[in-house]
Each structure stands twice: as structure tokens, then as C-alpha cells.
């Protein structure tokens, strides 16, 4: 064991080993969770994240899949400590999914937390937050786009103990099972979370034994201090100023003709930064609201992206950030305002922050991306009679950036989950995927093109109840620095038939019949920079790849092509004339 007289360089080496070890532990926990998950949401989409917290609930290590959880974990621990105080012992495990009592973004995101004891002292907590396939409520998947209060969003658990002395508390399991359409999946995923947390406890204790309790706690504190110091150092290099921006969410699921305003004022002074969201819209009747822990996490995500994407993810970063949210607004709603389709709002927050910070860090400017969307189908399996919930997360196009095109067919911003594979979806659910393709001309034109959106078309094989939570079907992803917006999204039932029906951006409980087809088009990303400054050879390559049509090449990029045999080539003379004589608009 080291003492306070240990040379500084030795302490620094030990701290680096501990820091790297914490990251490795959390990654091992997460790998365990993904490999033991019962549902496709965890196994395939990886809609979960894991972390280690200290005894105060501060995150000291998080392996990032979902960046928003850096704000959610501390709020969950605060609720557990408030509820159980000194009644926490080795072998305990706690559940919490209440968005207002804890930090869960919405009720399907269930936190499983276990305390870590060493030599009879509570040193910290290990835990995960993972989406559950169904926890009750009026629609399969528990995510009603028309919810008017959290009571429409499924089972709400404050901090409850689900294990005592490593044994399950059966009453809690029975309550959860009785409130789910897919009880085996939900309980299986919870047990996977508990198992992953127990693995984390073991690895954490091994680390503390190696370096000693006193030195380990000292290093944990120092890791947080250094993260805050690094963030402040990066902020101090930015110019001071006050900048504002805003974005809009299509609607709240209830008032379909009223966009939801997200407004931010960013004030940067020396090594501090303040985000003021008080001019954002009032809380909504529908489930577009988000809670302050998510707002704080969204701010942290943006700063990490703009300073050091490889930074350690812990609560030290949060200490460098000040936020202000107005009580009763969409950013800080009064209980029991609904919150289950929170992600489109968070995307608007992130896009607004990036737009404001472009004035401070122009080299990291980027256009808006596609936002996020999920589809949920629920029904009863014809062969087994058991309920099923098919939950998928689908990406689109990322915004163009200062030096490169946006990525195509990807999740963007804080939505870091995976698009489930066709093989898994078709093998586990009564559906067939007819198309999964990039959408030509969906990326916003720019010197650097926006990424392409995707089309995913399904044949439904048996009667089901369908819900969608999406965004940017009405308000397109904005371009930046003269770039054009990306194409908006769309959702059609039985497209191209006499029974075609277009659904709103958010919709709950549409009855699908066996043989119905539904088609989701995800938005493309906005373009960055003047499209007429894009290299003509890059436009030609886009055409050959199928990303841009010949017509759009001329109309939006000023690049005229001609065909020689089966090959498209640039008509240099016509392109020069068009780019010279036709004003770019």
C-alpha cells in the first residue's frame, strides 16, 4: 500500500492503472449484460449502459452506449439513498424506473443497482439502466405516443429492493410479471442486469484489494477532479460570449399542429459554461417532456463531443456545467407530465446546443442529423399463445461536417443503439422485411453532403398493434453554413394501394392486419456548406454509388453529367456554365 509520501510519479502511474481498470470493468459488465439479455432490445439493439458510482452516487466510470445515462445514474442513486439510508447491506439489489423519483429517461428504462461493500464499508454502487420490452400501460411496449400522464406509461417503481442477501424478493418479481405483456423477457433481462452488477462488484473489490482502500478512494476522487479540470481547461481555450439557438420538435403526439420549441442560451466565461433553457416551450400535454438529469447529460454529451471524444465519462465533467431549466417547461415538467417519447426532444436539445456552440467552436460545426425513432409491434404469437413485443430502433442520416460527409444509415447524437438485423427480427417475430435500403437524394446537399436516410419496409404476418415514436417528419434536419436540409421522414401503411394511410410522427396503437405492409422512411442529414462548392468528382462518385440522382446533381450541386455508353461522366463545359451563370439559391 502506498503512503502520502509516495513519489508523485508513482501515484500518477497507479491512478492511470486504476482509471483504465475501471473502464475495463465497466466494459466487462456491459459485455456480460449484452450476452445474457433475453430481449432483442438488449441483445441486438444494445439499449442499455453500465456504470460504477461512488458512495455518493457520482459516476466514476461509464462505458458509453447511451450518453444520457451519465445524468440518470446519480439521480437513481440519490433516490435509493433517500429511501433506504442506512438499511443497505451486502447482497442487496435495487430497482428503480420512476422518471420523477429517480433519473430514468422514461419508465421502460429500468435501473438495477447493487451496493459495493469492502471491509464493512459502502464504497460505491454498480449498476445498469436497460430498456424493457413491456411494463404494462395501454399499448404494447409501454410507450404510448398519446400518453397524457406518466400513469399511461406503464409500471412506475420508486426505489425498491429486489434482492436481500443475494436472494430475490419474490413479491417484487411477481408485481413486475403481473404488469408486463412479456414477463419472461422482462424478468430475464432484470436478472441479467443483476448478474452483470455482481460481476462488477467482484472486479471492483479485486481492484480495491490490489491498491488498498484508502489509496483507491483517494484515486477515485482525483479521477473526478482531473476530469473536471480537463474540461475546464478545454473551455478556457474557447472564446467568451453569449450565443443562442433553437430547434423545434414536430409535435408532442397530442397537438399535432403545434411544434415544440427548444431554446438555449449558452454563456461561456473563462473556464465555465452555462446553458439556459428557460425560453423553451411550456410542458406539453403529450409525452415530449424531459427531466433535468437528461438535460444535464445532453449538455455533457455535446461538450465531450466538441472537446475530447475519448475523455473519461464520469461526473467530473458534470461539475463543469451549469444549467437552468424553467419549472413547468418541457425541459422540467411538473409531475405527472408524460415523458415516454423523450428522445426526439433530447435530439432537438443537442442540435440547438451544437448550433449555438458553432459560434464558439466553428471548426467543429455540423448540420443536424436525423434524430431518432423506434417502432413497436405487439400481439400474441399464433403458435405459443404468448404475448410478444417487437421493438426496433432505427437510424437515418447524420449531418454533414466541416470536413466530411455525414454518415448514412446510422444512429446519431446520443442515440447510440444498434439497428437490429433482418435475420434476428424475422426469426423472432411474425414479420418479413421487404426492403432495407438507403434513400437516394435524402441527404441534404452541401459542400459536404448529409448522410442518407433509410427505408425499412415490413410485411406483417399476423394481426398486431403498431406504435411509432419518431421525429423530423415535418421539420427537416437543418443544414449548416449554406447547406440544404435533409429530407424529412415518413411512415405509411399499405403504401401505393387504395388503402394507403400516412401516420403522424408519433402514433400509438394502430391496428395492423395480417398481410398489411408498413414503410418507414428515416430522414437524411442536413448538408454542410455551399453545395456548388462540392467537388464535381465527389458528386459523380455519389451518382455512381446511388446516393444522388443525375437530376439532383444538376439542380442542387450545379454538376451536369452526360452518358457515354453505360457510364456517366462530368460535362465539364456545361458544369462550368451552370455554376458560373446560375446563382446558387
Cell triple for residue 42? 438488449
- Rounded to 5°, the CA angle 129-331-232 comes to 75
Q: What is the pLDDT of residues 211-233, one digit of tens each?
A: 999 999 999 999 999 999 999 99
**DSSP 3-state of 291:** coil
- Evaluate if residue 9 carries a pLDDT over 60: no
Percent of the chain with pLDDT over 90: 90
Cell triple for residue 373? 425513432
Of 29, 42, 128, 47, the residue nearest 424 (C-alpha): 42
List beta partners, residue 51. 62, 127
CA atoms of 19 and 161, how far apart (whole Å): 30
- Computed over every residue of the chain, the mean pLDDT equals 94
Distances (CA, A) of 382 to 162, 215, 378, 385: 33, 59, 12, 6
Q: Are the C-beta atoms of 89 and 322 separated by less than 8 Å? A: no
Mean pLDDT calculated for residue range 292-316? 92
Q: Are the C-beta atoms of 239 and 360 separated by less than 8 Å? A: yes
What are the residue boundaries of the structural domains of the chain, listed by start?
8-229, 365-529, 546-581
CA atoms of 201 and 4, how far apart (whole Å): 27
Q: 99: Cβ–Cβ under 8 A, 6 or more apart, which residues?
A: 105, 106, 107, 150, 156, 291, 339
**Residue 2 pLDDT grade (very low, low, confident, very high; cuts 50, 70, 90):** very low
**Residue 1 pLDDT grade (very low, low, confident, very high; cuts 50, 70, 90):** very low
List beta partners, residue 519. 457, 492
Q: What is the pLDDT of residues 87-135, one digit of tens each?
A: 999 999 999 999 999 999 999 999 999 999 999 999 999 999 999 999 9
Name the least confident of 27-36, 209-218, 353-362, 411-420. Answer: 411-420
pLDDT of residue 4: 52
Residues in the chain: 585
Cell 446510422: give the residue: 410
List beta partners, residue 245. 264
Q: What is the pLDDT of residues 562-580, one digit of tens each?
A: 999 889 999 999 999 999 9
Strand 260-269 and strand 272-276: the pairing is antiparallel
Q: Are the C-beta atoms of 101 and 79 separated by less than 8 Å? A: yes
CA atoms of 230 and 113, how far apart (whole Å): 29
List beta partners, residue 111. 96, 129
Strand 167-168 and strand 241-249: the pairing is unpaired
Q: 154: Cβ–Cβ under 8 A, 6 or more apart, which residues?
A: 107, 108, 134, 135, 136, 137, 142, 179
pTM, two decimals, is: 0.94
Q: What is the pLDDT of residues 417-434, one digit of tens each?
A: 888 999 999 999 999 999
Straight-line distance from the first to the last Cα atom of the chain, in angstroms, rounded to the nearest whole number: 69
CA atoms of 14 and 203, how far apart (whole Å): 17
Higher pLDDT, 1 or 579: 579
- Helices within 308-341 (DSSP H only): 315-318
Amino acid at each position: 500500500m502506498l503512503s502520502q509520501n509516495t513519489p508523485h510519479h508513482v501515484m500518477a502511474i497507479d491512478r492511470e492503472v486504476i482509471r483504465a481498470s475501471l473502464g475495463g470493468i465497466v466494459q466487462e459488465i456491459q459485455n456480460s449484460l449484452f450476452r445474457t439479455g433475453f430481449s432483442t432490445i438488449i441483445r441486438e439493439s444494445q439499449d442499455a449502459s453500465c456504470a460504477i458510482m461512488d458512495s455518493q452516487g457520482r459516476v466514476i466510470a461509464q462505458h458509453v452506449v447511451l450518453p444520457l445515462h451519465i445524468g440518470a445514474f446519480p439521480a437513481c442513486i440519490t433516490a435509493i439513498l433517500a429511501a433506504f439510508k442506512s438499511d443497505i447491506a451486502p447482497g442487496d439489489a435495487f430497482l428503480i424506473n420512476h422518471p420523477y423519483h429517480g433519473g430514468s429517461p422514461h419508465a421502460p428504462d429500468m435501473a438495477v443497482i447493487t451496493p459495493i461493500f469492502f471491509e464493512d464499508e459502502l464504497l460505491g454502487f454498480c449498476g445498469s439502466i436497460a430498456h424493457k420490452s413491456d411494463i404494462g400501460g395501454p399499448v404494447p411496449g409501454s410507450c404510448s405516443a398519446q400518453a397524457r400522464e406518466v400513469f399511461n406509461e406503464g409500471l412506475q417503481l420508486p426505489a425498491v429492493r429486489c434482492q436481500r442477501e443475494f436472494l430475490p424478493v419474490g413479491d417484487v418479481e411477481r408485481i413486475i410479471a403481473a404488469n408486463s405483456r412479456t414477463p419472461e423477457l422482462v424478468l430475464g433481462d432484470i436478472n441479467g442486469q443483476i448478474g452483470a452488477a455482481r460481476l462488477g462488484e467482484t472486479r471492483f473489490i479485486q481492484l480495491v484489494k490490489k491498491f488498498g482502500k484508502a489509496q483507491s478512494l483517494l484515486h477515485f476522487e482525483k479521477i473526478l477532479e482531473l476530469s473536471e479540470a480537463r474540461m475546464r481547461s478545454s473551455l478556457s481555450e474557447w472564446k467568451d460570449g453569449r450565443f443562442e439557438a433553437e430547434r423545434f420538435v414536430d409535435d408532442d403526439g397530442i397537438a399535432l399542429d403545434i411544434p415544440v420549441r427548444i431554446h438555449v442560451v449558452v454563456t461561456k466565461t473563462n473556464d465555465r459554461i452555462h446553458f439556459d433553457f428557460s425560453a423553451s416551450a411550456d410542458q406539453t400535454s403529450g409525452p415530449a417532456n424531459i427531466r433535468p438529469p437528461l438535460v444535464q447529460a445532453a449538455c455533457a454529451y455535446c461538450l465531450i463531443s466538441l472537446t475530447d471524444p475519448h475523455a473519461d465519462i464520469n461526473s467530473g465533467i458534470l461539475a463543469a456545467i451549469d444549467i437552468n431549466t424553467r419549472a413547468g417547461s418541457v425541459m422540467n415538467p411538473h409531475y405527472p407530465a408524460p415523458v415516454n417519447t423523450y428522445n426526439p426532444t433530447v435530439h432537438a436539445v443537442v442540435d440547438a446546443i451544437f448550433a449555438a456552440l458553432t459560434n464558439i467552436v466553428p471548426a467543429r460545426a455540423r448540420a443536424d442529423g436525423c434524430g431518432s425513432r423506434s417502432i413497436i409491434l405487439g400481439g400474441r404469437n399464433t403458435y405459443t399463445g404468448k404475448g410478444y413485443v417487437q421493438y426496433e430502433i432505427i437510424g437515418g442520416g447524420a449531418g454533414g461536417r466541416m470536413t466530411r460527409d455525414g454518415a448514412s444509415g446510422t444512429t446519431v447524437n446520443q442515440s447510440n443503439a444498434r439497428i437490429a438485423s433482418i435475420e434476428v427480427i424475422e426469426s423472432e417475430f411474425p414479420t418479413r422485411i421487404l426492403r432495407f435500403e438507403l434513400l437516394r437524394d435524402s441527404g441534404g446537399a452541401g459542400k459536404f453532403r448529409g448522410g442518407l436516410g433509410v427505408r425499412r419496409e415490413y410485411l406483417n404476418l399476423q394481426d398486431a398493434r403498431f406504435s411509432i415514436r419518431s421525429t423530423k417528419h415535418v421539420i427537416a434536419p437543418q443544414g449548416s453554413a449554406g447547406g440544404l436540409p435533409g429530407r424529412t421522414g415518413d411512415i405509411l401503411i399499405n403504401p401505393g394501394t387504395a388503402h394507403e394511410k400516412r401516420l403522424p410522427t408519433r402514433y400509438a396503437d394502430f391496428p395492423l392486419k395480417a398481410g398489411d405492409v408498413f414503410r418507414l422512411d428515416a430522414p437524411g442529414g442536413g448538408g454542410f456548406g455551399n453545395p456548388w462548392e462540392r467537388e464535381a468528382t465527389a458528386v459523380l462518385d455519389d451518382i455512381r454509388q446511388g446516393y444522388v440522382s443525375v437530376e439532383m446533381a444538376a439542380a442542387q450541386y450545379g454538376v451536369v453529367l452526360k452518358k457515354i455508353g453505360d457510364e456517366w461522366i462530368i460535362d465539364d463545359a456545361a458544369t462550368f456554365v451552370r455554376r458560373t451563370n446560375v446563382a446558387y439559391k
